[in-house]
Amino acid sequence: MIAALQCIVLDCPDPPSLAAFYQVVLGGAVNRPDPRWSLDADWTTLHTASGLVLGFQRAEDYRAPEWPNPSRPQQFHLDFAVDDLDRAEQEVLEAGANLLDDGDSGSRVYADPAGHPFCLIQE
């Protein structure tokens, strides 16, 4: 093994707001003290119950991906397993997500408030 994954970092225009969105989706603690990094208005973290850490980094000239437009590609996306796809959809939309593609019966594609695509997948 060469390295250990510390966290997944998403560029965005407003780190605290995007962390709050993902806290609604995943639970966990926003800006829990952690000796690996300092926290400020340009860097916010979410420590999830599963142990995954998401970091949110301010990008002044942030341009949201336009799924599935290859001229502004998504570069990566997150997949979330859910028990009830319809209920999960309602909750992420209320939290600020936008539906991009209602896909097939087992998955749907959304954008978070900063435009990053993510999928909800029926378990």
Give per-residue pLDDT as tens, 71-93: 888 777 888 999 999 999 999 99
User: Are 81 and 119 a contacting pair, CB within 8 Å?
Assistant: no
Cβ within 8 Å of residue 47, ≥6 positions away: 28, 29, 32, 34, 53
Average confidence score pLDDT of the chain: 91
Q: Which CATH class is domain 78-122?
A: alpha beta
Residue range(s) in the chain whose domain bears CATH number 3.30.720.120: 8-58
pTM: 0.85
Cβ within 8 Å of residue 54, ≥6 positions away: 7, 8, 9, 10, 19, 22, 26, 45, 46, 48
Give per-residue pLDDT as tens, 21-45: 999 999 999 999 998 888 999 999 9
**CATH tag, 8-58:** 3.30.720.120
Residue range(s) in the chain whose domain bears CATH number 3.10.180.10: 78-122
